[in-house]
């Protein structure tokens, strides 16, 4: 594959929903309530608009009898779909938080519905992925950062369950712990495959932006483990074990953050030159990294994590606004809106 193709983003239908919802959570953590509410509303609108636009653009083909073809598809072709349950989980988490703060029962009910839908879609997206792995094995050359969406979807649903739990006082603690541990195990497995891929083929040959998810998913693991740690019925040994796992995940996210950010800056300016569609994984990954730092600082009483969380949160907000400007500017200069009007 030519190096130029590396700029093209992987198909991630709900990447913008993830990024916008995650940035809303960061804004809420920084007490920017108006901005947080605006971004969360925008994320909800995006979550509705994207499937409607997809059906509208493909309405002619949908009227024809379709036979799903799962037989010849490799596992890497299923990873992008995990943005859908992950995006819904992020929106559900934000809704639960605002419902708790404002005492809005209707909003909490919608958050619970989106959470249940998110878990269902996690199963529906994971099934063909693991079936393809079972049938065709794993081609290391096709492993990319987008593969980290598989554990991220599980971790996101687990985190959202914890947020809804905090607002409803429901007895879903086992689901929170199970989501954190299962997502963490999947992360380690994908990380092992990614390390083998990088050792053999380097970073080239696959889209570059999804490698941010490797860092963001580590932060997500720390965030999910922190939610699991909050269960008061756990034994002291279990609390200590979860705290240590959370610390390891947070350190891994920090270790990955700096080289990924440095290499991405070089790649964007030198190779992509900002001519391609915007990549949302950096914004979303930085958002969950900031939230995990703030949570880890609260649980472990480490001020350095709190400072890092504030800095990363500021970068997440900057990334979101820069990405919106980038995409609008690209479309205007390409005459996209003029073509749509005609």
**Residue 255 scores a pLDDT above 70:** yes
The Cα–Cα gap between 252 and 192 comes to: 13
pLDDT, tens digit (0-9, with 9 covering 90-100), for 89-110: 999 999 998 887 777 778 888 9
Out of 12-16, 87-91, 237-241, 327-331, pick the least confident: 327-331
pLDDT digits (tens, 9 = 90+) for 295-305: 999 999 999 99
Which of the four pLDDT bands, split at 50, 70 and 90, describes residue 172? confident
Q: Mind listing the pLDDT tens digit for each residue in 5-19?
A: 445 556 889 999 999
Q: What would the two tokens of residue 182 be?
A: 């299962």
- Residue 4 binned pLDDT confidence (cut-offs 50, 70, 90): very low
Mean pLDDT (the chain, rounded): 86
| DSSP string covering 85-141 | HHHHHHHHHHHHHHHHHHT-HHHHHHHHHHHHHHHHHHHHHHHHHHHHHHHH---GG
Q: Is 307 helix (H, G, I), strand (E, B) or coil?
A: helix
Residue 240 has pLDDT above 90, yes or no: yes
Cα–chain center distance at 264: 18
pLDDT-derived band at 3, boundaries 50, 70, 90: very low
Q: Quick one: tokens of 217?
A: 């998913």
- Confidence check: pLDDT of 50 > 90: yes
Model confidence over 123-171: pLDDT tens digits? 999 999 999 998 888 888 889 999 999 999 999 999 999 998 876 666 7
């Amino acid at each position: 594959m030519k190096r130029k193709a590396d700029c093209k983003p992987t198909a991630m239908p709900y990447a913008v929903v993830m990024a916008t919802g995650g940035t809303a959570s960061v804004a809420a953590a920084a007490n920017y309530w108006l901005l947080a509410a605006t971004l969360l509303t925008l994320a909800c609108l995006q979550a509705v608009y994207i499937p409607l636009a997809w059906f509208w653009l493909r309405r002619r083909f949908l009227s024809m009898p379709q036979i799903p073809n799962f037989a010849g598809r490799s596992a890497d072709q299923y990873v992008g779909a995990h943005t859908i349950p992950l995006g819904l989980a992020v929106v559900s988490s934000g809704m639960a938080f605002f419902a708790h703060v404002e005492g809005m029962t209707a909003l909490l009910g919608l958050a619970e519905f989106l959470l249940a839908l998110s878990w269902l879609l996690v199963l529906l997206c994971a099934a063909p992925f693991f079936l393809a792995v079972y049938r065709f094995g794993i081609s290391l050359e096709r492993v990319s950062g987008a593969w980290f969406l598989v554990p991220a979807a599980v971790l996101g649903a687990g985190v959202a369950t914890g947020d809804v739990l905090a607002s409803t006082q429901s007895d879903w603690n086992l689901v929170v712990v199970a989501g954190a541990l299962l997502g963490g195990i999947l992360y380690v497995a994908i990380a092992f495959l990614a390390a083998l891929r990088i050792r053999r083929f380097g970073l080239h040959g696959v889209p570059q932006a999804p490698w941010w998810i490797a860092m963001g998913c580590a932060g997500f693991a720390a965030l999910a483990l922190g939610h699991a740690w909050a269960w008061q019925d756990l034994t002291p040994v279990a609390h200590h074990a979860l705290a240590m796992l959370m610390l390891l995940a947070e350190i891994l996210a920090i270790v990955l953050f700096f080289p990924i950010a440095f290499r991405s800056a070089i790649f964007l300016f030198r190779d992509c030159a900002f001519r391609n569609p915007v990549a949302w994984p950096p914004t979303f990954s930085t958002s969950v990294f900031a939230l995990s730092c703030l949570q880890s600082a609260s649980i472990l009483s480490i001020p350095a994590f709190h400072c890092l969380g504030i800095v990363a949160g500021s970068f997440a907000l900057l990334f979101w606004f820069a990405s919106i400007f980038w995409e609008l500017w690209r479309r205007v200069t390409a005459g996209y809106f003029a073509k749509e009007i005609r």
